[in-house]
Amino acid sequence: MQKNQSKLQAKEENPAAEEVARKMAEDEYYADNYIEKKLPDSHISRRNASFYGVCGFQSLKRYNIHFLADNLIIYALGNKYQTFNLDTKATETFHGRDEDGVGSIAVHPSREFFAVAEKGANPLIYVYSYPSMKLYRILKGGTEMSYIHCEFSSSG
């Protein structure tokens, strides 16, 4: 009886504990507004600031530039990652999902997927599909503080 009460109390304190891990279907994606980790608010809230632009390129970060297509490159910039079209010179900036920046980016050999490995406490790796840029998978538990490199296997 006491064991069942402790399980019930754990469910009330942490509703996520009730969720049973399930395998996602191969063609299933996360919702655009899905949040895996709730970030603590800082003194300057993301709600009170708007993004204007990014200048620069982290040239000392190894393996920081990859081709998503023959004319499109992707690279990390602090807590963001950016695509740059070599033909049109157009850029598109995406915000990292965790709090301490992007540690590494990798592109699948088929160029159908790319991974963004974050930094910070218990960082996650977010796998996106290309060209839709939709969140495909979230990889958890690979490290405690930061990813400095990630890559797909050569066979995909």
- Model-level pTM greater than 0.85? no
Instruction: Mean pLDDT check: name the lowest of 8-17, 48-57, 99-108.
Output: 8-17
Closest CA to 93 of 125, 124, 123, 133: 133
Sorting pLDDT into bands at 50, 70 and 90, what band is 71?
A: very high
Q: Regarding predicted confidence, which is higher, 147 or 8?
A: 147
Query: What is the predicted pLDDT for the residue at 43?
Result: 62
CA gap 32, 128 in Å, rounded: 11
pLDDT at 12 over 50: no
pLDDT at 17 over 70: no
Sorting pLDDT into bands at 50, 70 and 90, what band is 138?
A: very high
Query: What is the predicted pLDDT for the residue at 35?
Result: 78
Sorting pLDDT into bands at 50, 70 and 90, what band is 50?
A: low
Q: How many CB atoms lie within 10 A of CB 110?
A: 9
pLDDT at 10 over 60: no
Query: What is the predicted pLDDT for the residue at 60?
Result: 67
Sorting pLDDT into bands at 50, 70 and 90, what band is 18?
A: very low
Exposure string (b/e) for 45-60, b if CB count within 10 Å is 16 or more? Answer: eeeeeeeeeeeeeeee
CA gap 61, 77 in Å, rounded: 10
